[in-house]
Amino acid sequence: MIEIRFHGRGGQGAVTSVELLALAAIEEGKYAQGFPSFGPERRGAPVLAFSRVDDKPIKLRCKIVKPDVVVVLDASLLAIQKPANDLKEGGIIILNTNKSAAEIRQEYGYTHTLALVDANKVAREVLGVPIVNTTMIGALLRATGVVQVETMEPPLKERFGPLAVKNFNALKVAYEQTTIEERRS
């Protein structure tokens, strides 16, 4: 089982991300959960969203407190939520940033594997708006392969209708542009 935790702000679409991911994984014949950190949604407030994917039925019904992967939609959350603090040994931090891996490591002292993409730039260029949730799924798929890129298309269509094409393109561009730097011991 892979446990993925999205860190975002209310309105950035973290919950949509985990839902789309779950739908795609289930479509591939896997078992999956996608759920929010339950509560009143407040635009701009730091929020969490959770995703579990496995080949067998998932029994856990609790928050993810020791994730395999954290996806951070907004780099300003690194200082507030400290998403890497409870990351599993060997876990991956996937980050929306225009900084280099070296800069991030120096700033936050991370030793985990980093997957970085400037999702703001991709979203602005491809979507025309700085909403990065679907874009960051591209980075997640590049770093983990948790589902196939193509499987994301039907749930995107279902959710976004005519806007799905742009979202899927942003996802694919981010998939291409994501740089991965292995963990440092």
Partner 1 sequence: MMAHKKRVGMEVSIAVSHAVQLARAEAIAAYPITPQTHIVEHLSSLVANGDLEAEFVTVESEHSAMSACIGMSAAGVRTYTATSSQGLALMNEIVFITSAMRLPIVMTVANRALSGPLSIWNDHSDIMAARDIGWIQIFTENGQEAFDHSIMAFKIAEDHRVLLPTIVNLDGFILTHVVEAHEMMDQKTVDRFLPEFKPYHKLDPQKPVTMGAFAMPELFTECKMAHQMALTNSYGPILEVWQEWGKLTGRHYQPVETYRTEGAKVIIMMMGSLGQVAEVAVDAMRDQGIPVGLVKIRLWRPFPFADLRAALAGAEIVVVCDRALSLGGAAGPVLAEVRSAMYPLAVKPQILGYTVGLGGRDVQPEAFEELVRHAQAEVKQGPSQEYYIYGVRG
Residues in touch with partner 1 (CB under 8 A)? 18-19, 22-23, 25-27, 29, 31-36, 38-40, 57-63, 65, 155
Please state, in angstroms and rounded to a whole number, the distance separating the CA atoms of residues 13 and 134: 8
Please report how close the Cβ of residue 24 comes to partner 1 at its closest, in angstroms: 8
Residue 29 or 109: the one with the smaller Cβ distance to partner 1 is: 29
Please report how close the Cβ of residue 62 comes to partner 1 at its closest, in angstroms: 5
Residue 15 or 92: the one with the smaller Cβ distance to partner 1 is: 15
Residue 110 or 168: the one with the smaller Cβ distance to partner 1 is: 168
Nearest to 24 by CA among 119, 117, 141, 139: 141
Within a 13 Å sphere around the CA of 136, how many CA atoms are in the beta-carbon half?
A: 30
Please report how close the Cβ of residue 175 comes to partner 1 at its closest, in angstroms: 21
Please state, in angstroms and rounded to a whole number, the distance separating the CA atoms of residues 167 and 110: 30
Please report how close the Cβ of residue 33 comes to partner 1 at its closest, in angstroms: 5
- C-beta atoms surrounding 33 within 10 Å: 21
Please report how close the Cβ of residue 98 comes to partner 1 at its closest, in angstroms: 31
Residue 152 or 173: the one with the smaller Cβ distance to partner 1 is: 152
Helix, strand, coil share of the chain (percent; to 5): 40, 20, 35
Residue 39 or 145: the one with the smaller Cβ distance to partner 1 is: 39
Please report how close the Cβ of residue 63 comes to partner 1 at its closest, in angstroms: 5
Please state, in angstroms and rounded to a whole number, the distance separating the CA atoms of residues 44 and 41: 9
Instruction: Identify the bridge partners of residue 150 per DSSP, sorted by sequence position.
Output: none
Whole-angstrom CA distances from 151 to 27, 70, 125, 137 are 7, 21, 23, 12
Residue 60 or 102: the one with the smaller Cβ distance to partner 1 is: 60
